[in-house]
Structure 1
């Protein structure tokens, strides 16, 4: 846990410093070069600084051990952080959308942006690629979906910067400054779309769901491989951080001893962990074969998949 905390904190600090440098350079150049697209790209990088600060704060929370109030620990803090960040990103996108829209609707006369805007955009793309690669590697090493999501967000920033570069090229080539504003408008829509996607994805974990529903087929297949284990039902799975919590009922011969039934349950746990990665805990409830089941409110059966 301590090693994981160090990785999360180090990766967060590197992200803060790197994004701050890129953001300041793009905002400064965007202002002096007169490029709304570059300025918008700089604002987007500024939101990445905020994201990294939240990531740093969250990194110190998710590694806390369970206690009386939070028996499952604090792993879901990264999901809550993602929800907060979606609002931050959405606000930045809306600000840029309004600014770009005003420039297009009111057609304010503008000079062509300075050529330096192209150079800072190229520099930004290289820097973002490096940060994204580092965040992804550290996220895999620490098993942190928060860092991996941050890496994907930075990868999207490279796409945004590429869009800025294309917009600048056509702005200079066609001698039409309004194309810079149009590029800024398109980038703002992309930022808003990213914010909505992050918001929706975080709902899954907060609602005790799973993103990859194929996990249920894997659970049923794992149980079927265990001799003596029959009719898996009332299967429930949820995610805490990047770990799965699985609960299910199985049936066994009612004449078995407690030790024999317990051994079958242990074998079910082993089989599931061999078929599914990142399983934190499994609870197996054993029932005699043929016991009458009343309709249950929660859980999945094989026949409804």
Structure 2
């Protein structure tokens, strides 16, 4: 576990959280423009002129760059669990941007997630061995991951509400973990030269996996509340990344007597995720500009 990798991963989580909050703020200030494609285009055109939305777009780009840099120097099983800190940063940044103070229960959830993350990573001590994986390992891991996503999506189609949201959140988590693994593969091959990397399959597989993860996430958010999908998304991404790190890049985590504190850490992450997903600044109940801004505009 290197300090630079941890800093880069946390900065990526902070950038992504800030992007979500800023773009949510811009969308909250935008009046409706009708239904359909024409209305959506009008809204998008206006959002392009919103400073908050543009700042969010730049932060999303920065988050991708920071995550790639973290994966280039650190293990998948370290970087992806650290990105669960995005929920913590969303709470903090959302509280500032939307001008509201979290209640005590929200702070307890914040503490649980932070403590669980520190306990799991501190006891597991993830370490990496390889920067790229062999084609055989990719073929096997990719087939298993694709099969898991397909089965989970099929099961999700048979249920509604919170169960569907949780299942689609899990499918999205597996896809996001695969995207991160593919991004690590791309970064590991950069020594061959950009042109050589672009002539190979990993960059395009990364784009496809990322798009699939995004689509599945939107389905999870439409199916139910964030409180239903977020725990599966948070824990699913972290645990799948640990498994992919072991299967693809020969990464290791310490087990033995450390299993119990690791399980406690995972449980705390799950409980904290549920609590933060219910927090107004994360779930969307604070999706309105501060009152003082509205008064200034009408005054």
TM over 0.5: no
RCO (CA 8 Å, sep 6+): is it higher in 1 or 2? 2
Q: Which has the higher strand share?
A: 1
Q: Taking structure 1 as the reference length, what is the TM-score of the superposition?
A: 0.26
Q: Which has the higher helix share?
A: 2
